[in-house]
Amino acid sequence: MNDLQYQFDLLKAMNKKIVESEHMYKLIVERASLSFIYYSVEKNKYYSMGNFRNLFGFEVNNTGDLERFFSFFDASKESRLREVFFSESYSANEEAIDILDSVGKRWFRVVCSKIYEGEVLTDKVVKIIDITKDMSRSEELLYMAYYDSLTGIYNRNYFITLLDGFISDAKEKGDRVAIITIDIDDFKKVNDGLGMIIGDEFLQQFGSYIKEFQNDRVIVSHLSNDIFGIGIYNPLGDYAVSGYINRIRNRLKEPFKMSTGQEVSVSVSFSVSEYPEAAASALSLINCGDIAMFRAKSLGNDQLVYFDAKMLDDFMSNVSLENKLSDAVMHHRFEVYFQPQYHADSQKLRGMEALLRWKDEEKGFIPPSVFIPIAEKNGAIIPIGNYVLERSIKQYAEWKEKYDLDFTMSINISAVQYKRDDFVENVIELIKRYNVDPQYIELEITESILIDDFEAVTKKLRELRDFGLKISMDDFGTGYSSLSYLMRMPIDTLKIDKSFVDSVLSDNSTRIILDSILDMSQNMGFESIAEGVESENQYNYLFGKGCDVIQGFYLGKPQPAGEITKMLEDGVELQA
Ligand code: C2E
Ligand code: CA
Ligand code: CA
């Protein structure tokens, strides 16, 4: 190959490479939707490049084209755009402007980079990027900062901001501000029964319904999950709180129609808290609303509760009780008392019920009806319940060994304890550890455990009973139990609630129910225990109706273990 041929091939190869890399460069720039205007100072010439033609429909090659380019944008920003373009001042940084097109549809970011040789400007590269998508995303972000994405009404944060505005106006003018908190009753049932999609649609519809109330004095918000809020400036006359509540209640008489054709009917609970009485800031006002709502929910469905200061006291004392409770758990400040149960016919000892006692240093005895619900809510019931189980089983083993008496030890079990996976295992382990005969240990459960999963509940009960334990249904007659449930439940004992015993002598309908409970209990082969028996008359009545066992102050109060030991020491008679 001669020299010339070689040179030629080399040139061709280089050219090809240049063409290739140019092609590659063009592709990349176009695909990336980048458009440029390049200005060469030396040649005083403009070139448009990249995706420019696609974007604007023309090229820029001279100052005339450049004017056409400027007129493409929002006129009010033109002078700023020219500055970015023509500024000759030395700057190492890129100058940029975000600008809308003249029809207000698309956003562009125009960025000018200047290239210097020493301090002499040689070239400018102006990059034009379509940022419409990013801008609409930030508009979306802005929307999300104010509105709830599900219902399209104000979210909690923005509601608080607006409400604080109401409150500071009211402070100045001596006016009032009210918030109505609305909590959908049993919303879980809507979700579980009809599905989340219908649940969401219902919330949307409810949100748009209350949005109709909104004006310069009234704001509405989706505060959380199934909770809505209405803030009212100076709630008087047409703006009175009761007016809104009545309107909502009336609306709820009709079902909401979903797009699927399904109908959703709900009731709601209301709470009301007002500035200046309840609180002086939006956030505290909402908190007061929550506290009043807590009270409303405890009363049932379709309730209305106004916040008052006493409610806060109660709430705070519950909070301090909660702290005390964890302290008591840590320092074992509990004791178990025992209340004897007697056979109705012979008045001989049948067994005893273990009842928990908590003595607080400041408050004295705090009744279990107060602290057990708190312990169930915050989980303290697990260590407390384990303590009661172990304490009672151990005590039973000691009495059994010392006095060789066979009586039943009944232990209250909370639904929370019962639901734990290791519950059955735990109980069996304790019984083995203290080597007691399981037939003398009875677990008292309440109907509330049945709400969840009947199959899972009965499976556990069966395991316990198969091991030999007795199961007792506590507070019978107050809860959910239907007879059909009861028949399928593996239980031995029915404890008739104290409320029946209380009014059996004075109230005819109670008597009818009590009689039929005792009747049924007998037919189904349960042992029946009446609790809270305080008088001889009550005793006689119950005995006459065939009640098996009597428990109550009339025959014996709950007592510390020491007292029971004395009683056993003196000798008690047991049923043969
Ligand atoms: P319960 O299981 O229905 O217990 C019977 C309650 O009636 C006891 O109240 C007992 O002291 C009281 N009582 C018994 N006889 C009479 C009477 O003749 N007249 C009156 N006025 N009351 C009588 P206590 O000990 O305050 O317990 C209240 C509730 O606290 C219990 O109701 C039970 O639900 C719960 N509880 C008590 N100890 C425990 C425990 O160790 N674990 C669990 N989970 N709950 C417990
Ligand atoms: Ca009980
Ligand atoms: Ca009871």
Residue 381 CA, closest ligand 1 atom number: 44
Distances in Å between the Cα of 400 and the Cα atoms of 19, 391, 392, 514 are 102, 14, 12, 35
CA of 355 to the centre of ligand 2 (A): 8
412 CB near ligand 1 (under 6 Å): yes
474 CB near ligand 1 (under 6 Å): yes
CATH number of the domain at 554, please.
3.20.20.450
Taking 70 as the pLDDT cut, the residues of the chain under it are 1-4, 14, 17-33, 90-93, 140-142, 451-452, 479-485, 574-576
- The residue nearest atom 22 of ligand 1, judged by CA position, is 532
pTM attached to this predicted model: 0.56
Q: Which ligand is nearest to the CA of 495?
A: 3
Tell me the residues surrounding ligand 2 (ion) with CB < 5 Å.
412, 444, 474
- The residue nearest atom 46 of ligand 1, judged by CA position, is 412
CA of 367 to the centre of ligand 2 (A): 14
CA of 355 to the centre of ligand 1 (A): 6
Q: Is residue 19 included in any domain, yes or no?
A: no
CATH number of the domain at 122, please.
3.30.450.20
Residue 497 CA, closest ligand 1 atom number: 3
- The residue nearest atom 44 of ligand 1, judged by CA position, is 414
pLDDT tens column, 461-501? 999 999 999 999 998 877 655 556 677 788 999 999 998 99
Q: Which ligand is nearest to the CA of 410?
A: 2
Q: Is there a single domain that holds both residue 112 and residue 161? A: no
- The residue nearest atom 20 of ligand 1, judged by CA position, is 532
Q: Which ligand is nearest to the CA of 355?
A: 1
CATH number of the domain at 236, please.
3.30.70.270
Count: domains in the chain: 3
Residue 376 CA, closest ligand 1 atom number: 44
367 CB near ligand 1 (under 6 Å): yes
Q: Is residue 365 included in any domain, yes or no?
A: yes
Q: Is there a single domain that holds both residue 190 and residue 216? A: yes
Q: Is there a single domain that holds both residue 502 and residue 558? A: yes
Q: Is there a single domain that holds both residue 112 and residue 168? A: no
pLDDT value at residue 360: 83
φ/ψ (deg, to 5) at 447: -65, -15
Q: Is residue 9 included in any domain, yes or no?
A: no
Q: Is residue 17 included in any domain, yes or no?
A: no
Q: Is residue 377 included in any domain, yes or no?
A: yes
Q: Is there a single domain that holds both residue 178 and residue 93? A: no
534 CB near ligand 1 (under 6 Å): yes
Residue range(s) defining the domain that contains residue 37: 25-134
Domain boundary among 134, 169, 194: 134
Q: Is residue 345 included in any domain, yes or no?
A: yes
497 CB near ligand 1 (under 6 Å): no
Q: Is there a single domain that holds both residue 216 and residue 243? A: yes
Domain boundary among 290, 307, 324: 307
475 CB near ligand 1 (under 6 Å): yes
- Among 357, 412, 445, say which to mutate for ligand 1: greatest number of ligand atoms within 8 Å of CB: 412
Q: Is there a single domain that holds both residue 382 and residue 439? A: yes
Q: Which ligand is nearest to the CA of 478?
A: 3
Distance between CA atoms of residues 396 and 401, nearest Å: 9
pLDDT value at residue 18: 67
414 CB near ligand 1 (under 6 Å): yes
How much helix, strand and coil, in percent to the nearest 5, is found in the chain?
Answer: 50, 25, 25
pLDDT value at residue 42: 85
CA of 473 to the centre of ligand 1 (A): 14
Q: Is residue 315 included in any domain, yes or no?
A: no
**Residue 478 near residue 499 (C-beta atoms within 8 A):** yes
Distance between CA atoms of residues 116 and 90, nearest Å: 9
Q: Is there a single domain that holds both residue 372 and residue 303? A: no
Q: Is there a single domain that holds both residue 191 and residue 119? A: no
- The residue nearest atom 16 of ligand 1, judged by CA position, is 532
538 CB near ligand 1 (under 6 Å): no
β-strand pairing of 408-412 with 349-360: parallel
Q: Is there a single domain that holds both residue 417 and residue 445? A: yes
Q: Is there a single domain that holds both residue 164 and residue 53? A: no
Cα 7 off chain centre by:
80
pLDDT value at residue 187: 93
Distance between CA atoms of residues 412 and 354, nearest Å: 7
pLDDT tens column, 418-448? 988 899 999 999 999 999 999 999 999 987 7
- The residue nearest atom 7 of ligand 1, judged by CA position, is 532
376 CB near ligand 1 (under 6 Å): no
Domain boundary among 307, 342, 360: 307
Give the CB-side neighbour count of residue 108, counting CA atoms within 13 A: 27
Q: 3-state SS string over 415-447?
A: HHHHHCCCHHHHHHHHHHHCCCCHHHEEEEECH
- The residue nearest atom 24 of ligand 1, judged by CA position, is 368
CA of 497 to the centre of ligand 3 (A): 5
Q: Is residue 15 included in any domain, yes or no?
A: no
Q: Which ligand is nearest to the CA of 341?
A: 1
Residue 417 CA, closest ligand 1 atom number: 44
Q: Is there a single domain that holds both residue 456 and residue 373? A: yes
pLDDT tens column, 310-344? 887 777 777 788 888 888 887 888 999 999 999 99
